[in-house]
Amino acid sequence: MSLCVRNILFNSTKVQRCFITRYSSKTNIMKREPLVITKNGELRGCIKKLLDGTEYYSFKGIPYAQPPVGKLRFKAPLPAKPWEGVYDALKHGPISPQFDAQTRQVKEGSEDCLYLNVYTKSIETSTKGPVMVFIHGGGFISGSGNTDLYGPEFLLQHNVVLVTINYRLEVLGFLNLDIAEVPGNAGMKDQVLALRWIQENINDFGGDSNNVTIFGESAGAASVTYHMVSPMSRNLFHKVIAQSGVCTANWAQGVDGKNRAFRLCKLLGNETRDPNEALTFLQSVPAIDLVGKTFKTITSDERHRGLPMHFCPNIEKKYGHNEVFLPEDPEQAFLNCNSVNVPLMIGYNSKEGLILISTESKKIEYRNKNPSSFVPREIYNIVNDDKLKEIGQRIKEFYFGGQDITMEDAEKICDLQSDLYFTYPIHYFIELYAKNTLPVYMYSFNYDTDLNFFKNWMGASDIKGAAHVDELFYIFCCALNRDYYEENEILRSIINNVTRLWTDFAKNGNPVSSSAINWQPYTIKNKEYLNIDKSMAFGTYVDQKRIEFWKKMYKEAGLHRTRSNL
């Protein structure tokens, strides 16, 4: 038996704060729970504690859209319907069905996966705390916003409101049949709907809807930079942090979507060239049968060229009154100034490519015989065979001295993979965007401590620097790093310093507003950046020699214009 008492504080026009106090005769404990009234109805959360003992309020598994099931599968999401009574926001909603490329496991999840989580230290509407919305990575194939990796405890100590979201992945989120019903980008439209929900409701969680920073890592970073050019995302955010990814990287862009969908249908037992028949068929198969199909629908060239990410955001045609997420190539949008003008903090980890070492070790023999397989897709698509071979040899010469590759060359392989997919695309993106009047802050993340879990997990601890994903363990609290924070004063200080950079930027667009660090905004002339490690040293033109090599490759191919050389 339990007794529930509602304690409400009012102002003259609106509920300002509400708590429910529950008494359980089983435990003989009075438990106070926060209640927030949203546009869809009442939400009950729970009270938790930060690592310094301060209380915060947790609201998990909030539905922001109707379940995208049945005839809604693959389509743009619809706003969540209001509910009656009090909705228990006490645990995460289901994750999208997915294939985890690291563990090689299928996670069944549920198509009914469009939920978000809000963490805040205040539910006073007058608080107006800066809002940080995190979009997870995972190659548009895996991941969620859950606290198994993205716990709020580190960030909330700096008095921000944190929101994490789920969105549809792989086929469920990015099937493109090139028809009005399924033009692609459903997963991106999920993100847009979550941002709209935040605009409508976050003030009731103590947040400020006029001070929203969207940030993401890897595919999440590609996502937040896509929102910078999407007409659907205008006025939904005010600052951007992009960690290890951009929308102009070739791996972030889906191509040949209709034929990929037809190959998927054939793989599942229905050979068709009719997109409407394909839609009916693909809406009928179990969701779990659509998981992990990226790797089984690739072409022979895709097997060896680029990252295995193909169900991704795509340029979208306009059909009737449908909202279009991406009406033009994102590179062209930036060149045409069809992007938002907001403060941007952007960078990459010093050894991103370590994530690909194990994959590359299986391809060494093929790479040695076919160095042209290193040539990026966009160059491959426009040069002849002789030029392709020439560029491949130049890549091999630049990174490996022209010698055959061995596993003794792990760090050189790492540098090449870093440059192909992260460092050069990010440098190019910054040059596209740095024309704007608002500041761009560039960083290179180079911390190398016990918190570099991903690098250490891959057995690459002898290579100095930070691997792809490693910076997340300095920003979010999870089971892996919680003990380090509590027991190691040096690591605790590092985490506090890193999260202060992120949260200072979210507060006012300046990542060093509360510290003495000299982090100057990026200029096209000097290419200023901050080396985020124990030195916190300010520098110019990080990885210059390697970036200049790729600039020359793209220039020779007639690609990658910037406003400075138009």
Active site residues: 218, 352, 468
Check residue 336 and give left, alpha or beta (phi > 0: left; psi -120 to 50: alpha): alpha
| CA-to-CA dists, residue 520 to 213, 440, 443, 545, angstroms | 20, 9, 11, 22
Question: Whole-angstrom Cα distance, residue 308 to residue 302?
Answer: 7
Phi, psi torsion values for 467, nearest 5 degrees = -80, 170
> Could you tell me how many helices (H) and strands (E) the chain has, helices first?
17, 18
The pair of structure tokens assigned to 148 is 């198994």
Question: 401, exposed or middle or buried, with CB in 10 Å at 0-12, 13-18, 19+?
Answer: exposed
- Please give the backbone phi and psi of residue 131, each rounded to the nearest 5 degrees, phi first: -105, 130
* 3-state secondary structure (DSSP) of residue 404: coil
State the DSSP string of 43-109: EE-EEEE-TTS-EEEEEEEEE-B----GGGTTSPP-BPPP-SSEEE--SPPPPPPEEETTTTEEE--
- Crossing angle (nearest 10°) for helices 424-433 and 544-556: 80
Tokens 């903090």 locate to 345
Question: What is the per-residue DSSP string for 343-370?
Answer: -EEEEEETBGGGGGHHHHHTSHHHHHH-
Q: 87: how many CB neighbours lie within 10 A of its CB?
A: 19
SS (HEC) of 418-487: HHHHHHHHHHHHHHHHCCCCCCEEEEEECCCCCCCHHHHHCCCCCCCCCECCHHHHHCCECCCCHHHHHH
Beta strands in 159-244 (DSSP E): 161-165, 207-217, 239-243
**CA torsion, points 495, 497, 503, 507, in degrees to nearest 10?**
160
444 class by beta-carbon count within 10 Å (0-12 exposed, 13-18 middle, 19+ buried): buried
DSSP-derived 3-state class of residue 158:
coil
What is the CB neighbour count within 10 angstroms for residue 208? Answer: 17
Helices (H), 283-329: none
Question: Pairing between strand 161-165 and 129-135?
Answer: parallel
